[in-house]
Amino acid sequence: MYNVCHLQRLDDLSMRSQATGTGCHRTWPQPERLMPLPMDARKTPTELKVYVTSGEGVEITWSDGHRSRYDFPYLRDHCPCATCNDERQRKATETVVLPMYKERVKARTAKAVGNYAIQIEFSDAHKTGIYSFDCLREICPCQDCAREFRGDVKQTTA
């Protein structure tokens, strides 16, 4: 179970029985070990540009000076919503003989979600993915971010 604002996972699931109240107005006891997780300052954007009209994609400058560029098909393929995550897991277990053609996806609209994310509506009518800045930094297509945030290590041949 998670609490709001990047708090550590509660290991003691028995706390559910200690909740008081009903519905969404429950009061949960707060154990002393529940501490805020430190935010990674590198995942804080200083500049964000979304090029919906030109179709160029999203460009973010991060607090550490790194610049990330995402085209819209890349973002659609990496959508963090539950439906897309389930679909990726299902496809990982299937054997595909011939890949299906799919039209290059574009963005119809984009909007800010609070001060932590953006939401994009794509030309295939998909709009449930909310791309948090944490997520965007972690899925940055560059090799440095792949190594730093995803642990991807590409071996080079000598």
Q: What is the pLDDT of residues 73-117, one digit of tens each?
A: 999 999 999 999 999 998 888 877 777 778 899 999 999 999 999
Q: What is the pLDDT of residues 11-66, one digit of tens each?
A: 333 333 344 444 444 444 555 555 555 679 999 999 999 999 999 999 999 999 99
Specify the pLDDT at position 29: 52
- What is the DSSP annotation of the chain? ---TTTBPPP--GGGGGG-BSSTT--B----TT--BPPP-GGG-EEEEEEETTT--EEEEEETTS-EEEE-HHHHHHT--SHHHHHHHHHHHHSPPSSPPP-PPP-EEEEEEETTTEEEEEETTS----EEEHHHHHHT-SSHHHHHHHS---PPPP-
User: Could you tell me which CATH class the domain 41-149 is placed in?
Assistant: alpha beta
- Best CA proximity match to 78, nearest among 63, 68, 65: 68
Domain spans in the chain, listed from the N-terminal domain onward: 41-149
Specify the pLDDT at position 35: 53
The pTM of the full predicted model, rounded to 2 decimals, is 0.71
